[in-house]
């Protein structure tokens, strides 16, 4: 199957997942976590990507970031990957690839999905059984946004800053988002959009991205009579 092209737009958040090859561990001990966190911090600043949420997991990691330039995400991920693989292979006396392939990514509408994606990312350690709640997991952005701990990797999104006038007000409002679990259909939408490289947003947002980049932002409708007028209208084909 041909690779889908990236959505290369500055100013829009993207959810990114980078997995270890064959789900192998990419982080073994605390030193590995610190090294990856540091490389992400350095690369984010170097390539002008504001990281709003992250979770470093034993066999993969998540990022939610907004690039200030179109090539920022690709350059950042290439930089992190190159340095980290060299470090990991040297430390564990191994050779060859570490990643399963290209990172997965979805461009998303912040108005409808920014906080949902933050929750998806920061709840990942809980869903994986690594922590009882997000605050109990050390290697994510949650403590910085709820507990106020210092984290140089995190740059709050403007929507986070609008949660309250004071720092404590923003932290309390952000914590309140966890009162109800994310709906399963929303979890599925986030997973599918990221793994399949589709835009995460409602119809109007997806259409705006399609018009801007001249490429489909969402999958074609399944089934139906391909000769019918309704099918052709839904898929943007000539009638």
Domain that holds residue 96: 14-141+181-201
**Residue 65 belongs to a domain with what CATH number?**
3.30.70.1290
Q: What is the pLDDT of residues 176-207, one digit of tens each?
A: 999 999 999 999 999 999 998 899 999 999 99
Give how far the C-alpha of residue 77 lies from the chain's centroid of Cα atoms, to the nearest Å. Answer: 12
Q: Is residue 24 part of a domain?
A: yes
Q: What is the pLDDT of residues 47-106, one digit of tens each?
A: 999 999 999 999 999 999 999 999 999 999 999 999 999 999 999 999 999 999 889 999
b/e burial code for range 214-236 (CB count within 10 A of at least 16 → b): eeebbeeeeeeeeeeeebeeeee
Instruction: Provide the domain count of the chain.
Output: 1
Q: Is residue 47 part of a domain?
A: yes
Q: Is residue 196 part of a domain?
A: yes
Q: Is residue 160 part of a domain?
A: no
Q: Is residue 50 part of a domain?
A: yes
Q: What pTM was estimated for this model as a whole?
A: 0.89
Q: Is residue 42 part of a domain?
A: yes
Q: Is residue 217 part of a domain?
A: no
């Amino acid at each position: 199957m041909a690779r889908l092209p990236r959505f290369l737009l500055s100013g829009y958040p993207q959810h990114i997942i980078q997995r270890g090859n064959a789900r192998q561990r990419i982080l073994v001990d605390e030193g590995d976590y610190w090294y990856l966190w540091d490389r992400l911090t350095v690369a984010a600043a170097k390539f002008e990507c504001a990281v709003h949420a992250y979770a470093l997991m034993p066999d993969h990691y998540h990022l939610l970031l907004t690039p200030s330039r179109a090539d920022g995400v690709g350059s950042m991920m290439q930089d992190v990957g190159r340095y980290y693989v060299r470090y990991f292979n040297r430390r564990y006396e191994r050779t060859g690839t570490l990643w399963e392939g290209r990172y997965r990514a979805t461009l998303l509408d912040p108005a409808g999905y920014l906080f949902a994606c933050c929750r998806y990312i920061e709840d990942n350690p809980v869903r994986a059984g690594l922590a009882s709640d997000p605050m109990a997991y050390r290697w994510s952005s949650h403590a910085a946004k709820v507990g106020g701990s210092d984290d140089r990797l995190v740059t709050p999104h403007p929507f986070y800053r609008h949660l309250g006038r004071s720092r404590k007000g923003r932290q309390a409002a952000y914590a309140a988002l966890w009162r109800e679990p994310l709906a399963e259909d929303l979890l599925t939408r986030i997973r599918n959009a990221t793994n399949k490289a589709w835009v995460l947003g409602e119809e109007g947002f997806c259409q705006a991205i399609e018009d801007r980049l001249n490429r489909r932002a969402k999958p074609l409708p399944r089934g139906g009579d391909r000769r019918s007028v309704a099918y052709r209208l839904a898929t943007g084909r000539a009638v």
